[in-house]
Chain A
Amino acid sequence: GEDVEQSLFLSVREGDSSVINCTYTDSSSTYLYWYKQEPGAGLQLLTYIFSNMDMKQDQRLTVLLNKKDKHLSLRIADTQTGDSAIYFCAAVGGYNKLIFGAGTRLAVHP
Chain B
Amino acid sequence: DTAVSQTPKYLVTQMGNDKSIKCEQNLGHDTMYWYKQDSKKFLKIMFSYNNKELIINETVPNRFSPKSPDKAHLNLHINSLELGDSAVYFCASSQDRVGGYTFGSGTRLTVV
Q: A88-B43, A96-B31, A103-B41 are in contact. Are A45 and B102 (CB under 8 A)?
A: yes
Determine whether B64 belongs to the interface, using a CB cutoff of 8 Å to chain A. no
Taking a contact as CB atoms under 8 Å apart, the answer to whether B100 and A45 are in contact is: yes
Determine whether A77 belongs to the interface, using a CB cutoff of 8 Å to chain B. no
Q: Which residue of B lies closest to A48 (CB)?
A: B100
Kindly count the residue-residue contacts between A and B in the assembled complex, taking CB atoms under 8 Å apart: 56
Cα–Cα distance between A30 and B98 once the two chains are bound (Å): 9
Tell me the minimal C-beta distance from A92 to chain B in angstroms.
6
B residues lining the A interface (CB < 8 Å):
31, 33, 35, 40-45, 48, 55-56, 90, 92, 94, 97-98, 100-106
Q: A86-B41, A102-B42 are in contact. Are A96 and B94 (CB under 8 A)?
A: yes
Taking a contact as CB atoms under 8 Å apart, the answer to whether B48 and A95 are in contact is: yes
* Chain A: interface residue total (CB-CB under 8 A): 23
Interface of A is mostly: strand
Q: Which residue of A lies closest to B43 (CB)?
A: A100
* Chain A positions within 8 Å of B43 at CB level: 43, 88, 100, 103
A residues lining the B interface (CB < 8 Å):
30-31, 33, 35, 37, 41-45, 48, 50, 86, 88, 92, 95-100, 102-103
Q: A97-B45, A102-B41 are in contact. Are A45 and B106 (CB under 8 A)?
A: no
Tell me the minimal C-beta distance from A59 to chain B in angstroms.
17
* Chain A positions within 8 Å of B35 at CB level: 98
* Chain A positions within 8 Å of B42 at CB level: 100, 102-103
Taking a contact as CB atoms under 8 Å apart, the answer to whether A30 and B105 are in contact is: no
Taking a contact as CB atoms under 8 Å apart, the answer to whether A96 and B104 are in contact is: no
CB pairs A–B below 8 angstroms (25 shown): A30-B97, A31-B100, A41-B105, A41-B106, A42-B90, A42-B105, A42-B106, A43-B90, A43-B103, A44-B103, A45-B100, A48-B98, A86-B41, A95-B48, A95-B55, A96-B55, A96-B94, A96-B97, A97-B33, A97-B45, A97-B56, A98-B33, A99-B45, A102-B42, A103-B43
